[in-house]
Amino acid sequence: MMSTDKNAGNVPEKKEKKKMGMKAKSRLSNTIIYVVLVLISIVWLTPFVCIVLQSFRTESTWMVGYVIPQKWGLDNYIKLFDSDFVRWYKNTFLIAVVVAVVNPIMVLCMSYTLSRFRFKMRKALMKFMLVLGLFPGILGMIILYRILKDLGLTQEHAVPGLILVYCASAGMGYYISKGFFDTIPMSLDESAKIDGANRLQIFIKIIMPLAKPIVIYTILTAFLGPWGDFMFAKYISFGNPKGMNVAVGLASWLTPDQIDVKYTMFCAGGVLVAIPVTLLFLFLQRYYVEGITGGSVKG
């Protein structure tokens, strides 16, 4: 964020020969843009404001057609702590932490290799992973469920099963960090080699410190993934509340037979999930933006 703003400031100012008409015109267009931006912000923020407000509504628990609660209170939050939500939260947190450690290791190994080494099967490997990634994951999930079930890692014990699924194929998401490694000059590697370093030392001592932004990006996305994953978690927990993550658990409160009792609790749960994730995100936003733009700018 910071760096992009700085860049914008560096743009040379236009020559001061503008006519008065031009200035008025640009003031008008700026005003229009402000109006549009304000409208956009309202549209984008409304759902979240609504969710927060509804989580404090205590006069009823079902869906209503108004936003501002008539009676305010913390009832929904208090009820959350007596429900399965605590368990879901713990599950999700545990999964997210483990995945945030293992997943980046897989991704970095893969992307560093594809960026830095030239070996016989390299192009073929990249094509293979490209095609593999196009296979509908939902179908693979059906098989994985049966395999994990044989291993006893579903339903109540879905947490280790989910960790396994999230981490095992992580290497396929090498694309963005490979783009980043590609931008680090090869001459660094070569001079280190002349100084007698082997590839392992180059990887750990030279490249890794330079790759800090992409490492943080990878950890951040790996940590955030499990909080939002719905399909795999739903399938592998298979309706057993003990093995659910927050997404599956909270979604189960919106089924027709639950929604009238649990709707405001869903909102409160949503807020409790969103707060840590949003804070973390805002805190590390710079790395996220760098990662997501770095990858695409490289192309």
Q: d(Cα 179, Cα 291) in Å, to the nearest integer?
A: 9
**Interface with other proteins (CB under 8 A), residue from 21, 124, 139, 195:** 139
Residues 65-124 that bind other proteins (CB under 8 A): 65-67, 105-107, 109-110, 112-113, 116-119
Q: d(Cα 297, Cα 299) in Å, to the nearest integer?
A: 5
| Shortest separation between residue 286's beta carbon and other proteins, angstroms | 11
DSSP SS3 for 106: helix
Q: Nearer to other proteins by C-beta: 159 or 267?
A: 267
| Shortest separation between residue 161's beta carbon and other proteins, angstroms | 11
Q: Does 199 bind other proteins (CB under 8 A)?
A: yes
Q: How far is CA 216 from the centre of its chain?
A: 12
Which listed range, 74-82, 154-162, 211-219, 249-257, lies at the site for other proteins (CB under 8 A)?
249-257
Residue 232 has which token pair? 């795999």
DSSP SS3 for 238: coil
Q: Which helix (H) or strand (E) segment is 41 a member of? A: helix 20-55
Which listed range, 73-81, 155-163, 210-218, 281-289, lies at the site for other proteins (CB under 8 A)?
281-289
**Interface with other proteins (CB under 8 A), residue from 48, 60, 70, 86:** 48
Q: Nearer to other proteins by C-beta: 82 or 198?
A: 198
Which listed range, 34-42, 83-91, 153-161, 211-219, lies at the site for other proteins (CB under 8 A)?
34-42
Q: Nearer to other proteins by C-beta: 75 or 170?
A: 170
Q: Does 142 bind other proteins (CB under 8 A)?
A: yes
Classify residue 21 as exposed, middle or buried by CB count within 10 Å of its CB (0-12, 13-18, 19+). Answer: exposed
| Shortest separation between residue 215's beta carbon and other proteins, angstroms | 15
**CA-wise closest residue to 260 among 40, 118, 60, 25:** 60
| Shortest separation between residue 156's beta carbon and other proteins, angstroms | 20
| Shortest separation between residue 44's beta carbon and other proteins, angstroms | 5
| Shortest separation between residue 228's beta carbon and other proteins, angstroms | 4
* Residues 3 and 285: beta-carbon distance below 8 Å: no
Q: Does 186 bind other proteins (CB under 8 A)?
A: yes
Q: d(Cα 223, Cα 93) in Å, to the nearest integer?
A: 9
Q: Nearer to other proteins by C-beta: 119 or 257?
A: 119
Residues in contact with other proteins, total (CB under 8 A)? 100
User: In 3-state terms, the chain is what percent helix, strand and coil (to 5)?
Assistant: 75, 0, 25
The single residue listed with the structure tokens 């396929």 is 172
Q: d(Cα 77, Cα 94) in Å, to the nearest integer?
A: 22
Residue 278 has which token pair? 């949003």
Q: Nearer to other proteins by C-beta: 75 or 178?
A: 178
Residues 154-173 that bind other proteins (CB under 8 A): 164-165, 167-172
Residue 127 has which token pair? 């094509």
Q: Does 41 bind other proteins (CB under 8 A)?
A: yes
Residues 12-31 that bind other proteins (CB under 8 A): 12, 26, 30
DSSP classification of residue 124: H
Residue 102 has which token pair? 């293992």
